[in-house]
Structure 1
Amino acid sequence: MTTPDDSGERPAWAPPAEDHQEQRSTVWITVILFVVFMAVMLLVAGLVVGGVKESRAGAVQTRQPAVPPTSAPTSSAPPATRQEVPIRKLETAANPLVAPGVAMPKVTCELPKLRGTKEQLDAFYLALIPCLERAWHPVLTQVGEPRIPVAVNLHDVSNTACGPPPPASEAMGFYCSDDKTIFVPLPRQLEDGGPELLSQLFLLAHEYGHHVQEQSGILRKHDTLYREADGDRPRILDLSRRLELQADCFSTLFLANAAGRGSITAGLIAPLGQAGYEGTDSETHGSAKNAALWQKRGLKAKDTSACNTFAAPPAEVS
């Protein structure tokens, strides 16, 4: 007697059911996808690590290096790290620039021979400006003020960012704070027999003195006080004289610290501070007497406080 499962006739082999094949295929696909996923994750991890290294290097490059790099780095620092320029102190008499103890270093100016062509005058000014910077930049650094470059323009311009230039009868040169430029029109320098060494030195140092006033905030405060005067002519003229006489004092302060070395001899600057030198009575620039007074104070000054015209009594700036 046979059992129902043992009929004696075995069926031929048949492939496994379709659902079993799909299960095995699913397993292989899962394995392959997992391998691909892990490879992608490893690649992404490598890129992330590389990116972190680059950003750190970029952050280090934005700092001020001890030795300047051979090529300028590209800054990727946030804006906050670039706001390092000091803010000018908008003061006149109370400006740190003219506080006691702010001294100017001695400097040596090697200047080319002064001649009367545009090219030769240009070469003279381009040699003198760096010498003025070497004298004034340490002074500005002492009081935490920015050091702003200045340009020199020899063209006989009809207008500037500050407006029309003063007449030639009033000024051999002039400074425009909006342009950060000293204008020394060539025709004005060639009048009366051509340029003379001391007058050119005094002129450029005077106009650079206005640039120093701009860098320190004195000139900006002067302009504010000018606007507040609202047309009060005596007050406006008083402000103008204090500004110009201070530039005279700054000019001779520089020349005193440059004299006796290089191209500027002690004998060359001897006429400064004497009655009548570069001095005619002027409502805007002061009397000849007071011009000589502030020139002499600059020559004898131990520090910049000697040039604090905005703290001087009215009789000394008339």
Structure 2
Amino acid sequence: MTFNDNANVSGNRARRRGRGAAIAGGGVGIGAIAVLLISLFTGTDLSGLLGGGGGGGAPAPESEIQDCETGADANEDDACRIAAGSLAIDQFWAETVEGYREPGVIVVDGETSTQCGTASNATGPFYCPPEETIYIDPTFYALLRERFDASAGPLAQLYVLAHEYGHHVQYITGVMEQNPNNGTGPDSNGVRMELQADCFAGAWVGQMTEQEDESGTPFLEPPTQQQVADALNAAETVGDDHIQEQSGGQVNPESWTHGSSDQRERWFREGYEGGVSVCDTFSIAGDRL
């Protein structure tokens, strides 16, 4: 388990939205799941490779996350785990960043339109800066847990959420504005942005037992070594070099947008061991990333 069973998570602000176009069970092959694995952590819409994907239009109505009152609920349900995790991560950043404002957190049910494009089960989690909102579809977790067990444990799931929170922090603190997109490559701002978000995620995981509900009960239990290993494995799995290898192509650092497997794992560990203060990926030389 990750959450303390008796922790009160009923105050979460996460909402559910979507058109219910979930991926049908039994109809997803290994190739499609590999596409979803890439999409999950990169936020790249690869729906064309699946022969699907959603259209635009107005956002669907929103609703509360049902049956999400306690840590026990969060341990049993992926959507509730996202909602409960947002409480802890918000508390962490409110104590870390002066003037912090909370992002929206939308659990996507199938697909929904956003200012940053369609959020669906073919795009994976992403942060939409104009809306200051994180979109995440727990359908991915079920698929990853089925096919890639080590990469879909509870802490690995929260790492994904914390990574997207990292992008929110970059946006509200001006990091995104100060370091605009300058193309691809191992020394690009895009890679530095992603590695910093990995570091921010690690910093939260390193202090995840310090956030408490209103009665003083910690939201989360100390992570086990295996759970930390799962989170590190998730970071490693989504390195640009690993994705290129798994796609059958050659490793081409000049096309990188997220960093190598070693880099992503290392920067998560840097944050986990050293906290937010060690996460400046923009002031160091490229050969030190």
Bucket of the pairwise TM-score, normalised by the shorter protein: 0.5 to 0.7
How far is the alpha carbon of 1:127 from its aligned partner? 1.5
Say if 2:171 and 2:177, in contact at 8 Å, map to a contact too: yes
Say if 1:150 and 1:211, in contact at 8 Å, map to a contact too: no
Alignment match, 1:270: 228
Alignment match, 2:285: 313
Say if 1:111 and 1:128, in contact at 8 Å, map to a contact too: no
SS state at 2:109 partner:
coil
Alignment match, 2:104: 150
Alignment match, 2:208: 258
Say if 1:162 and 1:176, in contact at 8 Å, map to a contact too: yes
Partner Cα separation in structure 1 for residue 108 and residue 121 of structure 2: 15
Alignment match, 1:189: 141
Read off the aligned partner of 2:142 and give its amino acid letter: L
**Bigger relative contact order, structure 1 or 2, given CA contacts below 8 A and separation 6+?**
2
Alignment match, 1:176: 128
* Residues 283-315 of structure 1, C-alpha deviations (whole Å, 9 max, x = no match): 2211111112101110111x4220001112212
Among 114, 125, 129, the residue aligned to 1:160: 114
Alignment match, 1:286: 259
How far is the alpha carbon of 1:177 from its aligned partner? 1.2
Unaligned runs of 5+ in 2: 1-69, 147-151, 211-217, 241-255
Partner Cα separation in structure 1 for residue 87 and residue 223 of structure 2: 20
Q: Which aligned pairs between 1:41-120 and structure 2 lie closer than 5 A?
A: 110=71, 112-115=73-76, 120=77
How far is the alpha carbon of 1:273 from its aligned partner? 7.8
SS state at 1:298 partner:
helix
Say if 1:175 and 1:182, in contact at 8 Å, map to a contact too: yes
How far is the alpha carbon of 1:209 from its aligned partner? 1.1
* Residues 67-107 of structure 1, C-alpha deviations (whole Å, 9 max, x = no match): xxxxxxxxxxxxxxxxxxxxxxxxxxxxxxxxxxxxxxxxx
Alignment match, 1:200: 157
Q: Which aligned pairs between 1:206-285 and structure 2 lie closer than 5 A?
A: 206-222=163-179, 225-226=180-181, 229=182, 232-234=183-185, 238-259=188-209, 262-268=219-225, 269-271=227-229, 276-280=233-237, 281-282=239-240, 283-285=256-258
SS state at 2:204 partner:
helix
Paired residues in the alignment total: 191
- Relative to structure 1, the CA distance from residue 211 to residue 299 in structure 2 (aligned partners, 3 Å threshold; closer, same or farther) is same
Partner Cα separation in structure 2 for residue 221 and residue 206 of structure 1: 19
How far is the alpha carbon of 1:151 from its aligned partner? 2.2
Matched, 1:138 2:90: no
- Relative to structure 1, the CA distance from residue 312 to residue 156 in structure 2 (aligned partners, 3 Å threshold; closer, same or farther) is farther
SS state at 2:134 partner:
strand
Say if 1:151 and 1:181, in contact at 8 Å, map to a contact too: yes
Read off the aligned partner of 1:295 and give its amino acid letter: F
- Relative to structure 1, the CA distance from residue 122 to residue 239 in structure 2 (aligned partners, 3 Å threshold; closer, same or farther) is same
TM-score, scaled relative to structure 1: 0.53
Alignment match, 1:7: none
Unaligned runs of 5+ in 1: 1-108
Partner Cα separation in structure 2 for residue 286 and residue 247 of structure 1: 11
Alignment match, 1:94: none
TM-score, scaled relative to structure 2: 0.57
SS state at 1:266 partner:
coil
* Identical residues among aligned pairs (%): 24
Say if 2:185 and 2:191, in contact at 8 Å, map to a contact too: no
* Residues 137-171 of structure 1, C-alpha deviations (whole Å, 9 max, x = no match): 12112xxx342442223233364212345984xx6
How far is the alpha carbon of 1:220 from its aligned partner? 2.8
Alignment match, 2:15: none
Partner Cα separation in structure 2 for residue 193 and residue 148 of structure 1: 29
- Relative to structure 1, the CA distance from residue 177 to residue 155 in structure 2 (aligned partners, 3 Å threshold; closer, same or farther) is farther
How far is the alpha carbon of 1:112 from its aligned partner? 3.4
- Relative to structure 1, the CA distance from residue 191 to residue 233 in structure 2 (aligned partners, 3 Å threshold; closer, same or farther) is same
Alignment match, 1:88: none
